[in-house]
Structure 1
Amino acid sequence: MNRRRFIKASMALAAACGTPGLAGLFSQSAWAADGGIADGSSRPFDFAQLQEMASELAKKTWGGAPRPLPGALTGMTPQAYNHIQYDAGHSLWNQIEGRQLDVQFFHVGMGFQRRVRMYSVDPASRQAREIHFRPELFNYNEAGVDTRQLEDHPDLGFAGFRAFKAPELAKRDVVSFLGASYFRAVDSTYQYGLSARGVAVNTFTDTTEEFPDFTAFWFETPKARDTTFVVYALMDGPSLTGAYKFTIHCEEKQVIMEVENHLYARKAVKQLGIAPMTSMFSCGTNERRMCDTIHPQIHDSDRLALWRGNGEWVCRPLNNPQKLQFNAFNDENIKGFGLLQTDHSFDNYQDVIGWYNKRPSLWVEPQGNWGKGHISLLEIPTTGETLDNIVCFWQPEKPVQAGDRLDFKYRLYWAAEPPVRSELARVYATRTGMGSFPEGWAPGEHYPETWSRRFAVDFVGANLKEAAARGMEPVITLSSGEAKQVEILYVDPFDGYRILFDWHPTSDSVDPVEMRMYLRSQGQTESETWLYQYFPPAPDKRKYVDDRQMR
């Protein structure tokens, strides 16, 4: 599954244009008097109107896949597409003196075939004007596009947008919306990583996954010194529509998005994902199977973190399994969750292309009570870093029926670290390797009759030294097998404690082993909860292999 080709689901805006009271939002061209790039006629706009638009659209049949693009844009290579650059002199807020923010648009082409419409909104008058596509907004460079083929397509639209913040205006973007309902943001490293989505539909069911599109955006014009901007979005897909409001704070070290969405179901949805995110985990300290490269680790995120409704903090390291795995973590009124990149040391990646040490984490903070449901985690086997193979979202317990309306509010924090942290000790790293031999000794020769898998879980923070002095113990729970050779070691370089244990099988089963551990001292919990899913090898593979050739 290549989750970076966002060409699955879309809509025909002609259907919206035929809806009574909504056609005025899609105006014909009339050049802007102020010289800006918004050249459409002025029409009233507000969020309530957009919600009504999405509601009415849900009562109509989905418009289907995107219409074909002009021949000059079909079959473009990634290299050719990347040659097309937006002209910064035509950026959305280019005429605002001393501006801190600006917006540019992506060209349609290659896999980005959905024609997205863009509007500029005056926040005082609440008047919106459409920004129509025209070739002079772009520099085509060496893309090999015959722009004469594009001049007869005033409805071509755009593929998405990206936002810039001073002092890097027009040089390095901090927010990007491109492809279906996918979007990303950066922290102070200006390095993109994992992606978020507007919604996930049937990601892991017996039906085909849907990828609803953002089909139109409305941008409120900010004031010169503002570092926050508001953008509204219309979503449409086979099973649902949506009205979104994004309040995007472009801060010095992070981007924070306040999201309000209203979803309208066309038909029943088997699996609805709220605040979904997609990431990549190829290999890391705990999973080395796909790390036969010069890089010690390759991943956008290394763990799923949960702050459960009952106050428990959970760390679940990610895996690159040999076969697809789906896990659901039940909860009620979850306080927060996210896919985190906690290791920011270049030495642990040695990657000068992907710069994985700079990739941000993404934390979801629900607003209000979300009720009962579960965090869904899908881990897809991948052979390398070009495929996003991790999907995570909140799934409400109540099934979605045709005609239902669902409303959610939440904040997204794109930063190196989440905005909240447990007062308990936290998991620093997870490592696995051969077991059944003392640390510091060679495996195999003296222990031929046993096989086990060793786990080393490092904890840092809080008052672990005081807890250890009182008598600290790891509480380990396994769905199968036994934990033996349990050790607690203080490790000075990271000023924390390493818990070592060997997992010994008690059967020939190769079913995943669910592991759970936390630290306790005199009945008091001292750490967050470590969860792990281990995939034991087949019985004939449970042995130490010595391939030395001495002569």
Structure 2
Amino acid sequence: MNRRKFVKASVALSTLGGLSGISGLLSNQVWAADGIADGTAKKFSFDKLKAHAKQMASSSWSGAPGALPATLANLTPQAYNNIQYDAKHSLWANVPHRKLDVQFFHVGMGFKRPIRMFSIDTASQDAREIHFRPELFNYHDANVDVKQLQGKTDLGFAGFRAFKAPELARRDIVAFLGASYFRAVDDTFQYGLSARGVAVNTLTQHEEFPDFTAFWFETPKADATTFVVYALLDGASLTGAYKFTIACEDKRTVMKIENSLYARKDIEQLGIAPMTSMFSCGTNERRMCNTYHPQIHDSDRLAMWTGKGEWICRPLNNPRQLSFNDFTDENPKGFGLLQLNHDFNDYQDVIGWYDKRPSLWVEPVGSWGKGAINLMEIPTTGETLDNVVCFWQPATALKAGSEASFAYNLYWSALPPVESNLSRVVATRTGMGGFPEGWAPGEHFPDTWCRRFAVDFTGAELKDAAPKGIEPVITVSSGTFKQVEILYVEPTNTYRILFDWYPNSDSTTPVNMRMFLRTKDQTLSETWLYQYFPPAADQRQYVDDRKMTAGN
């Protein structure tokens, strides 16, 4: 998959997008008396940006970026990381008592697209360009020949990152880097999954990665913890204008996003509010946990709050083969890739700190109409590759010459901003089944192969209903289920639903499972969705330990 090469080691290798035709919003270089913005002042507005993006869509795409100077093109990841922005030249260094600041990433290595940056005076709405110049950076031990960079103001930048007091210039909280990828943190300061401006033809052989090619920053007030940045998107099949209102709160980061998209070509699959994450192994999928870590993942589930009000939990998989699922909906209330387990003991990782990684929740603004939440899961053998993709696909395709606008909020936080009063799925576990707990298959029990599933639900919401009788409502797309049990797990104050799934054929087609809890006509829990991949027929057998010998 090209995607896996694209995101390897967090290097989003951008091969699409362009900067042609935006001279109407840019300006010639003239040194400014203060700040790092050295361009001539020119009026800016979001409406002008949208008009310009629309105009660009009527012309052909300029293609991939040109070659970088050799001293930058051949950088190793270690050398690239040694290039650091000089905090004395940060965007808002001249704002007294500031609580926010912005620094820029250097182009180099796989980051070839020159991105242009502009500073907006909020009072006058005058925008000045910030041109690249080597003195904005400290090159340390990167072994960059700075002489090759002198006078190359068109090199631009690779992206930007934002800081918030009291961690100004030390720990960033928002980063835009590579194509249209961006990330944010909560109060742990630990990055995790990524978002993107748009997804184009993700599930086809012709996936595209449009670029953010220019950013405009409104200068915030000194005491502000919210800033506004505008972005121009450009790609082979579409252009776009974006407005990000980014609130850097104490416990979370919230982004209000407005966009307008303009199609150059017919787009087979348009993805809105896309996000990418990593799931290697967890409580339900142990196949790739050949490591001392109990679990390895940035996110453990896809959560959905449907337009009809149903709450759904879909645990993530690291499948043996590429897997795609779409969940049809109309006017969804929210969805996201969540990391809800924040117990260090369940990860034991002091490098990735998976227990600190944030969840990402999408809150649509307005009516999104009919469509589907798409989920793609890619097999992966490690933790350096994003292998989970999720986004909203509108039912109406975006045709050449047409346009579409969407508004939504992104919440980067430990927990999503909304929750139901229903019992929530805590964990999903699987293992061999067909016999009582504490026993093993053998002469006293049938040795027919089956798979056991244990799904834990939070218990506080179920205790009052327990005397009335908790009923698991289970459906499977193939095979049958038996041995259903309901257990109260006192140490964790949860209720565990056990059932065994028996195949009715040798098929390895994925089995879709669905379960929720109720008592009489009252729904007690969110809906658990799961996709199980049965092994091949010759692998459906148990090993009888009594037949093993020392020689084996």
Residues 120, 216 of structure 2: 8 Å contact kept? yes
Task: Tell me by how many angstroms 1:399 deviates.
Answer: 1.3
* Equivalent AA in structure 2 for residue 151 of structure 1: Q
Distance of 1:85 and 1:446 partners within structure 2: 67
Distance of 2:86 and 2:14 partners within structure 1: 29
Distance of 1:108 and 1:184 partners within structure 2: 18
Task: Tell me by how many angstroms 1:546 deviates.
Answer: 3.7
- Structure 2 match to 1:107: 106
Q: How does 1:511-526 map to 2 (within 5 A)?
A: 511-526=509-524
Task: Tell me by how many angstroms 1:13 deviates.
Answer: 2.0
Distance of 1:13 and 1:170 partners within structure 2: 29
Q: How does 1:273-312 map to 2 (within 5 A)?
A: 273-312=271-310
Distance of 2:350 and 2:35 partners within structure 1: 40
1:111-162 deviation line (CA, Å, top 9, x unaligned): 0000000000011100000000000000000000010000131100000000
Q: How does 1:418-429 map to 2 (within 5 A)?
A: 418-429=416-427
Task: Tell me by how many angstroms 1:391 deviates.
Answer: 0.2
- Structure 2 match to 1:26: 26
- Structure 2 match to 1:320: 318
TM-score, normalised relative to structure 2: 0.97
Distance of 1:416 and 1:83 partners within structure 2: 31
1:395-422 deviation line (CA, Å, top 9, x unaligned): 0001111011100000000000000001
- Structure 2 match to 1:135: 134
Structure 2 unmatched runs, 5+: none
1:16 to 22, 25, 34: 22
Matched, 1:529 2:532: no
1:401-445 deviation line (CA, Å, top 9, x unaligned): 101110000000000000000111110110001111211223445
Distance of 1:368 and 1:549 partners within structure 2: 66
- Structure 1 match to 2:167: 168
1:246 to 244, 247, 253: 244
User: What RMSD over aligned residues (CA atoms) do the two structures have, in Å?
Assistant: 1.1
1:200-259 deviation line (CA, Å, top 9, x unaligned): 000002x31000000000000001100000000000000000000000000001000000
1:2 to 1, 5, 13: 5
Task: Tell me by how many angstroms 1:462 deviates.
Answer: 5.0
Distance of 1:267 and 1:520 partners within structure 2: 48
Higher mean C-alpha deviation, range 437-446 or range 406-415: 437-446
- Structure 2 match to 1:361: 359
Task: Tell me by how many angstroms 1:3 deviates.
Answer: 4.0
- Structure 1 match to 2:200: 201
Matched, 1:391 2:389: yes
**Secondary structure at the counterpart of residue 249 of structure 1:** strand
Task: Tell me by how many angstroms 1:463 deviates.
Answer: 2.8
- Structure 2 match to 1:339: 337
Task: Tell me by how many angstroms 1:340 deviates.
Answer: 0.1
Residues 98, 221 of structure 2: 8 Å contact kept? yes
**Secondary structure at the counterpart of residue 274 of structure 1:** strand
- Residue identity (%): 69
Residues 444, 544 of structure 1: 8 Å contact kept? no
- Structure 1 match to 2:230: 232
* Equivalent AA in structure 2 for residue 152 of structure 1: G
Residues 232, 244 of structure 1: 8 Å contact kept? yes
1:352-389 deviation line (CA, Å, top 9, x unaligned): 11000000000000000100000000000000101000
Distance of 1:424 and 1:58 partners within structure 2: 46
Q: How does 1:418-497 map to 2 (within 5 A)?
A: 418-444=416-442, 446-447=444-445, 449-497=447-495
Task: Tell me by how many angstroms 1:506 deviates.
Answer: 1.2
2:259 to 251, 258, 261: 261
Q: How does 1:369-380 map to 2 (within 5 A)?
A: 369-380=367-378
Aligned residues: 543
Distance of 2:392 and 2:404 partners within structure 1: 13
Structure 1 stretches of 4+ with a deviation exceeding 4 A read none
* Equivalent AA in structure 2 for residue 173 of structure 1: D
1:27-75 deviation line (CA, Å, top 9, x unaligned): 1211111x21001010000100000110001011000001111111012
Distance of 1:464 and 1:167 partners within structure 2: 43
Task: Tell me by how many angstroms 1:9 deviates.
Answer: 3.7
Distance of 2:84 and 2:544 partners within structure 1: 56
Using a 3 Å threshold, how does the CA distance of structure 1 residues 69 and 473 change in structure 2: closer, same or farther?
same
* Equivalent AA in structure 1 for residue 39 of structure 2: G
Residues 424, 462 of structure 1: 8 Å contact kept? no
Using a 3 Å threshold, how does the CA distance of structure 1 residues 365 and 461 change in structure 2: closer, same or farther?
farther
Distance of 1:186 and 1:378 partners within structure 2: 24
- Structure 1 match to 2:506: 508
Distance of 2:504 and 2:420 partners within structure 1: 35
Residues 112, 159 of structure 1: 8 Å contact kept? yes
Residues 14, 113 of structure 2: 8 Å contact kept? no
Q: How does 1:153-192 map to 2 (within 5 A)?
A: 153-192=152-191
- Structure 1 match to 2:549: 549
Matched, 1:211 2:209: yes
* Equivalent AA in structure 1 for residue 191 of structure 2: Y
Using a 3 Å threshold, how does the CA distance of structure 1 residues 338 and 3 change in structure 2: closer, same or farther?
farther
Residues 424, 461 of structure 1: 8 Å contact kept? no
TM-score, normalised relative to structure 1: 0.97
- Structure 2 match to 1:123: 122
Residues 18, 234 of structure 2: 8 Å contact kept? no
* Equivalent AA in structure 2 for residue 56 of structure 1: Q
* Equivalent AA in structure 2 for residue 149 of structure 1: Q
Task: Tell me by how many angstroms 1:448 deviates.
Answer: 5.5
Distance of 1:3 and 1:529 partners within structure 2: 34
Residues 244, 260 of structure 1: 8 Å contact kept? yes
**Secondary structure at the counterpart of residue 219 of structure 1:** strand
Distance of 1:361 and 1:443 partners within structure 2: 40
Distance of 1:195 and 1:102 partners within structure 2: 21
Distance of 2:157 and 2:470 partners within structure 1: 59
Residues 84, 138 of structure 1: 8 Å contact kept? yes
Using a 3 Å threshold, how does the CA distance of structure 1 residues 501 and 221 change in structure 2: closer, same or farther?
same
Using a 3 Å threshold, how does the CA distance of structure 1 residues 204 and 106 change in structure 2: closer, same or farther?
same
* Equivalent AA in structure 1 for residue 199 of structure 2: A
Using a 3 Å threshold, how does the CA distance of structure 1 residues 341 and 3 change in structure 2: closer, same or farther?
farther
Residues 91, 101 of structure 2: 8 Å contact kept? yes
Higher mean C-alpha deviation, range 439-448 or range 521-530: 439-448
Residues 15, 63 of structure 1: 8 Å contact kept? no
- Structure 2 match to 1:57: 56
**Secondary structure at the counterpart of residue 265 of structure 2:** coil
**Secondary structure at the counterpart of residue 56 of structure 1:** helix
Residues 16, 208 of structure 2: 8 Å contact kept? no
Task: Tell me by how many angstroms 1:12 deviates.
Answer: 3.4
- Structure 2 match to 1:329: 327
- Structure 2 match to 1:406: 404
- Structure 1 match to 2:38: 39
